[in-house]
Amino acid sequence: MIFREARIADIKQIQFVRNAVTENTLSNPDLVTDKDCEEFITARGKGWVCEIDGQIVGFAIADLKENNIWALFIAPDFEKKGIGQQLHKRMLDWYFSQTKATVWLGTAFNTRAENFYRKAGWTEAGTNGPKEIKFIMTYDDWIRNKQP
């Protein structure tokens, strides 16, 4: 299992993982373009991937422009192996090394992702549109809650 920063060459595999998930699915896969991914990992923020045997099985992307977690997804066959926790830690360590601004994310109600973020110390902060819960993480909460 290799964790590393995402590169432009990873975008096709990132898109494959994004469209393979069974929760928080895109209503239209064309809504998130390769160009969007490139912008988020090169200009707006940074991304990380988990690679196993040359295949990307998970990724995470933080957006400094909107102080947002743009993505954290794991391929279904690789869930529950700690990959999400590792990507989450790397992403938030980097994010809070760049800014102390509170970061937010949205995720669908009643999902494993909702439970994941609650356990990781995120605070519910209302909704993000009609179909998502909004969570926030402050710098102080991250320092207090992060795992070694």
pLDDT at residue 21 greater than cutoff 80: no
The per-residue pLDDT of the chain, averaged, comes to 90
Residue 26 pLDDT class (50, 70, 90 cuts): low
- H or E element, residue 112: helix 112-119
**Sequence spans of domains, the chain:** 2-145
Q: Residue 24's pLDDT is what?
A: 64
pLDDT at residue 28 greater than cutoff 60: no
Alpha-carbon distance of 10 to 14, in angstroms, equals 6
Q: What is the pLDDT of residues 116-137, one digit of tens each?
A: 999 999 999 999 888 899 999 9
- CATH (one of 3.40.630.30, 3.40.50.920, 3.20.20.70, 3.30.300.30) for 2-145: 3.40.630.30
Q: What is the pLDDT of residues 56-106, one digit of tens each?
A: 999 999 999 999 999 999 999 998 899 999 999 999 999 999 999 999 999
pTM, two decimal places: 0.91
Rg (CA), the chain: 14
Q: List own/partner pairs for 53-56 with CB under 8 A and 24 or more apart.
A: 55/13, 56/10, 56/13, 56/14, 56/16, 56/17
